[in-house]
Amino acid sequence: MSDPGLRNAAARLLLKRLREESTPSLRGEATMPEKRTLERARRDKAQGKSASTQAGEFVREEIDHVREGKHGARSTRQAIAIGLSKARRAGVKLQPPRGKTTSAETRRQAKRDIQRSRSRSRRPSTTRSRATFKALTKENRSAGSREALSRQARGAAARRPKAARSQAARRAAVTRAHKGAGGRRRAR
């Protein structure tokens, strides 16, 4: 093996194998919803809960992925968007966002996700999946922190009118009265 070209090729192959062994493959997991999430969403649907509640399961999964370190997200909003996209592709009947609040590109993507849920014809491109996953692994993990989620929730609430906020608070109070305070404990 005196040829330097062969030596370099062998070294590259060895490095590639070492990398593959040391890091578990999460590509499929990054794009496919977990079985548990699909079951939760189905249960929500069977109980007659809204599409946004069903989609919440996918968003929760995505936030958990960021927290576990499977991948990162540029912002909490991006993690939420990935979760909503997964929900639409899984068949949750979520409408595309309205024109005032989002860009035309986002609305087009949402429509594409809805179409994707109706037709299961093509296999996803491995190259694109790998590229997306690789880009997400380079992003920060702080998007899944309690502080970031709290900031996101407060910002989203501030953008809604007072009547909508107060209606949500009344609904939450009714839910708390039904379930009792024992069901929820503050995580530290």
The 10s digit of each residue's pLDDT in 19-29 is 555 444 444 44
Query: Which residue did the predictor score with more confidence, 96 or 16?
Result: 96
Cα–Cα distances in Å, from 48 out to 41, 44, 86, 92? 11, 6, 20, 13
The 10s digit of each residue's pLDDT in 38-76 is 999 999 999 999 999 999 999 999 999 999 999 999 999
- Using the predicted structure, report yes or no on whether residue 186 has a pLDDT greater than 60: no
Q: What is the mean pLDDT of residues 130-135?
A: 92
- Using the predicted structure, report yes or no on whether residue 182 has a pLDDT greater than 60: no
Determine the Cα–Cα distance for residues 34 and 13; give it in Å rounded to an integer: 32
Look up residue 121 and give its two tokens: 């014809």
